[in-house]
Amino acid sequence: MAAAYVGVMTHPLAWLHPRLVAISPADRREALRHANREPFDPAELVGLAAALVLAGWLAVGGYRWLAAATAFSAAVAILFTRCRRGLNRMFDA
């Protein structure tokens, strides 16, 4: 049992949602499309706006590489949490 669990957790999609690995690839693609239709939370929108303001401030200060990294990491984190929330709602329904 432990070996099977380790194999599942090493699958790249297991980091998004562990139950996503157990479904077929065609159903997995549809599940991810459905999860990406999840609307943004107000807190996510505020966080994204704050990251963009911070990135703009850093870019004006001459730290363009740090501004790009800040904006990119904030966007990836917010999209990841939105997709995971959509998958949780789909799997719990």
Q: What pLDDT, on a 0 to 100 scale, did the predictor assign at position 31?
A: 87
AA identity, residue 6: V
The pTM for the full model equals 0.74
Instruction: Convert the pLDDT of each residue in 41-75 to its tens digit.
Output: 999 999 999 999 999 999 998 989 999 999 999 99
Q: What is the pLDDT of residue 10?
A: 60
Q: How far is CA 54 from CA 44, 66, 82, 91, in A?
A: 15, 10, 21, 35
